[in-house]
Amino acid sequence: AIVLDEQVITAPRINEPITGGSGQITGNFTVDSSTQLAVLLRAGALPAEMTFLEERTIGPDLGEDSIRAGRIASVIAFAAVLVFMGLSYGLFGLFANVALLLNVALLFGILSLLGATLTLPGIAGIVLTIGMAVDANVLVFERIREELKTAKGPSRAIELGYEKALSAIIDANITTFMTAMILFALGSGPVKGFAVTLMIGIATSVFTAIFVTRLIVVMWFERKRPRTIEV
């Protein structure tokens, strides 16, 4: 068969061996059909040089180079968040960092159980999760600071800080979770991957911010019993 641009132009029957490098197509052709066939055959034989403007080798998904750059950016962002929390909130910032490490570990663990492939949108979802987890801890710590100014004592300030910040944390994460659900329902491909990572990250962030960080703070306070605390 003679094929041009993945389309079969003609499929003549071979009656004898082609030994001289050329052949002849015979049949009941009209003038128009024979002319059209000749034009198509000559079009496929026209020389056309290819000029390379740019050549890149990419891997699956969005390319191994993009994935590698995303991972490096995520590590840098994660390290910057850890340093910021430690400098801004001291010991309480270190508590938040421990919970943040657990949050990321839980997120990767759940993604591994689901057999998810780490793509560039997924990495973006992880980075957004880290930011949301830190935001929840920042809300709590700022509320504790406000309660300490009213001289209620450190124990009561910690309790009220978590209680008053809880509604804001839940509301913010619910709205983001609903948005991620809409992206998953209406999106496709990379968008679904981003949505899945974000929904899992929201769940782990709420858990670590409300329960893990609070557990660490309460255990430290019960053990040390400080008269004053600095947040």
- 53-69: pLDDT as tens digits: 666 665 555 556 777 77
* Cα 61 to Cα 209: distance, rounded to the nearest angstrom: 33
CATH class of 64-224: mainly alpha
- 68-108: pLDDT as tens digits: 777 888 888 889 888 988 888 888 889 999 998 999 899 88
What's the distance, CA 121 to chain centroid?
3
Spatial contact of 52 and 110, defined as CB atoms under 8 Å apart: no
Q: What is the pLDDT of residue 63?
A: 58
Helix (H, G, I), strand (E, B) or coil at 230: coil
Domain residue ranges of the chain, discontinuous segments joined by +: 2-45, 64-224
* Cα 208 to Cα 99: distance, rounded to the nearest angstrom: 6
Spatial contact of 141 and 119, defined as CB atoms under 8 Å apart: no
Query: What is the H or E stretch that residue 10 is in?
Result: strand 7-10
Q: What is the pLDDT of residue 41?
A: 64
- 7-28: pLDDT as tens digits: 666 666 666 666 666 666 676 7
